Amino acid sequence: MACLVDYSSSAGEEDEDKTADVTKRTSLEAAAAAPPASLPPLPRSFHDIYAANVRTSTADCPSLHQGRTRAIPHVAGQWPSHIYVEWFPTSPEHASLEALLTAVIDVLPQTGNPPGRPAVHSLLTSDLGVPLPLHISLSRPFVLRTAQKPTFLDSLIASVSSSRVVPSYVGFNGLDWYRSPDSARAFLVLRVAVTDKAAVADVSKSRGRGHNHPLVSLLARCNSQVASVGQPTLYGQSTASESDEDDTVAFAFHVSVAWTLADDIHAWVKLTEQAYGTWQQNQRKESKEPLHFNVDSVKIKIGNIVSDIPLAASERRAKRARTNTGPNHGPRKKLSGLY
């Protein structure tokens, strides 16, 4: 009687195992050699979800915050608020900022007994080592009552959206220490100058004040809204000075990168300028692009909720990019220098 089933021999099993091993090894080698898949960028609203810090105490406790105290004490029914332009440095930009901060700290005079470097706290990285967003303030810290929140937000959105401010690039043209009028802290700040992308390198080499008209215009609108709820304005600018190019106000815009509670920051000015100059030379030697970023929206944080308000021009272009697609148009190209 013939066999109904023809079982493979052990030799055949060994051949199949070898073939499977070769196939698996080839697949692994191909996967290792392949370039990593590029991930799509996170939506701009993603970071707003995690903008609030985790609370570690139910009461204000300076010892938990390097000696800092609240500029605005917590009161039930009142919401600390802030209007600003946000900047998320890229990884290379973050590394350059870290190098700048290290260069400044290294030249500061040692004090105390035993002598040591003054305590300078970075605003670039969280306690967990995560890079943090930076910002240009368009308001002082202020408070809104619960009933004021919806109306204030709607008015601010209408004011910013109706402005004629177009997206623009900002570069940096100086590094200084600035004593905050709202607290005991002094901040290490990069001075801001509005420019276009082609002129970023020229801005970084200059020590001029820069016109900063787009920021002055946005500040006037934000100050007008803040003053309408009885809160103090930023830089003492009058709400009617949107078209008046105030040189002092224009020079005041900055991005803070560190802070300290030390008193004698005046003795650090020359040392800080020297460290900044050396850092700039190193940046140019290494052919690194000057630090800059695109201003295309204004943000407001009310309590722990962040709202993003696109500038009118960038919003219109985004709408055109969405609508001008199809068989007769094709995808619309982004406009150079505006994105």
Joined tokens for residue 323:
């609508």
Q: Which of 71-80, 200-209, 260-269, 273-282 has the lowest mean pLDDT?
A: 200-209
Superfamily the domain 78-323 falls into: Cyclic phosphodiesterase (3.90.1140.10)
Q: Is 254 among the catalytic positions?
A: yes
> Which DSSP string do the residues of 166-191 spell out, in sequence order?
PPEEEEEEEEEEEE-TTSS-EEEEEE
Residue 321 above 80 pLDDT? no
Q: What would the pLDDT profile of 47-60 be if each residue is shown by its tens digit?
A: 666 555 555 555 55
Label residue 92 exposed, middle or buried (CB < 10 Å: 0-12, 13-18, 19+).
exposed
Place of tokens 């605003």: 123
Among 121, 135, 213, 329, the one annotated catalytic: 135
> Rounded to the nearest 5 degrees, what angle is found at the Cα of 299, between the Cα atoms of 64 and 43?
95
Residue 254 above 70 pLDDT? yes
Q: Which of 143-147, 186-190, 242-246 has the lowest mean pLDDT?
A: 242-246
333 close to 317: Cβ distance less than 8 angstroms: no
What is the chain's mean pLDDT, rounded?
79
> Rounded to the nearest 5 degrees, what angle is found at the Cα of 191, between the Cα atoms of 187 and 196?
150
Whole-structure pTM value: 0.73
Q: Where are the domains of the chain?
A: 78-323
Residue 279 above 90 pLDDT? yes
Phi–psi pair at 306, nearest 5 degrees: -110, 130
Among 211, 254, 292, 329, the one annotated catalytic: 254
Q: Which of 39-53, 67-81, 203-217 has the lowest mean pLDDT?
A: 39-53
Q: Is 47 among the catalytic positions?
A: no
Phi–psi pair at 34, nearest 5 degrees: -70, 140
- Residue 115 banded pLDDT, cuts 50, 70, 90: confident
Residue 282 above 80 pLDDT? yes
Short-list 251, 161, 184, CA closest to 211: 251
